[in-house]
């Protein structure tokens, strides 16, 4: 039996590299991700990725971009599954965010480590957070939470969640306490956002 010869042209090298990179990202860290190793895994020469990603940074940015897309989808579907009421939707958003952030720690690091964020990345992150932002506007319109710039309120909420995820991922918080802490954070967050009489 002859081994099927690998064609000279891979066909979908870009997608294969990204897929392989995501696997490597969960196995090892983002630190030790090597272009040459990815090329090896996909079965292609170490110079081949250059056609699809001008340099390593470009591949990492593409990973971050896909990460924002997946995050957006998970946030959206978690909120949809929570029904139409404000508070359950907010809780669902918070849980889903921390869940994603701790399940994909290395990817999240990449998503937020992009100092020189290009426009594509900026758009992707804005799109991922569109639904929760809308939730806040809706909550304000319904008088569930105090008025104010939704962007500002959303940023503070996101910061609290991102900080929780960061502490969990760094090992300062045991992840077994995760759900309890998220519930606590949401409760206090709501207290801080409640309309004042």
Partner DNA sequence: ACCTGAACACCGTTCAAGT
Does the protein bind a second copy through residue 117 (CB under 8 A)?
Answer: yes
Alpha-carbon dihedral sign for residues 10, 38, 162, 152: negative
Hey, what are 82's tokens?
């929570």
Task: Choose from a second copy, DNA, none: what does 9 bind? Cβ within 5-8 Å by kind.
Answer: DNA
User: Residue 33 Cβ, how far from DNA at the closest point, in Å?
Assistant: 7
Does the protein bind DNA through residue 64 (CB under 7 A)?
Answer: no
Does the protein bind DNA through residue 9 (CB under 7 A)?
Answer: yes
Q: What is the crossing angle of helices 150-169 and 105-113, to 10°?
A: 130
First to last CA, the chain: 81
Among 19, 22, 37, 74, binds DNA (CB under 7 A): 37
Rounded CA separation 189/169 (Å): 21
Does the protein bind DNA through residue 121 (CB under 7 A)?
Answer: no
Site for a second copy in 58-87 (CB under 8 A): none
Site for a second copy in 21-50 (CB under 8 A): 29, 31
Site for a second copy in 122-141 (CB under 8 A): 125
- Give the Å distances, CA to CA, from 170 to 3, 10, 107: 46, 39, 14
Pick from 153, 137, 165, 162: nearest CA to 190:
153
Does the protein bind DNA through residue 36 (CB under 7 A)?
Answer: yes
3-state secondary structure of 114: coil
Does the protein bind a second copy through residue 176 (CB under 8 A)?
Answer: no
Which spans of this chain sit near a second copy (rule: CB under 8 A)?
29, 31, 109, 112-115, 117, 125, 152, 155-156, 158-164, 166-167, 170-173, 181, 184-185, 187-189, 191-194
């Amino acid at each position: 039996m002859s081994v099927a010869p690998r064609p000279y042209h891979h066909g979908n090298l870009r997608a294969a590299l990204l897929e392989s990179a995501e696997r490597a990202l969960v196995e090892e860290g983002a630190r030790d991700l090597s272009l040459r190793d990815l090329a090896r895994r996909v079965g292609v020469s170490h110079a081949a990725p250059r056609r699809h990603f001008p340099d390593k940074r470009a591949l990492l940015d593409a990973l971050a971009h896909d990460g924002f897309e997946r995050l957006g989808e998970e946030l959206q579907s978690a909120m949809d599954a929570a029904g139409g009421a404000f508070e359950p939707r907010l809780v669902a958003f918070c849980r889903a965010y921390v869940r994603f952030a701790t399940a994909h720690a290395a990817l999240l690091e990449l998503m937020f480590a992009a100092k020189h964020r290009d426009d594509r990345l900026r758009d992707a992150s804005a799109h991922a957070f569109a639904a929760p932002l809308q939730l806040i506007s809706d909550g304000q319109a319904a008088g569930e939470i105090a008025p104010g710039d939704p962007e500002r309120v959303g940023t503070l909420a996101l910061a609290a969640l991102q900080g929780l995820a960061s502490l969990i991922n760094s090992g300062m918080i045991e992840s077994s306490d995760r759900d309890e802490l998220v519930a606590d954070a949401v409760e206090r967050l709501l207290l801080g956002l409640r309309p004042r009489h």
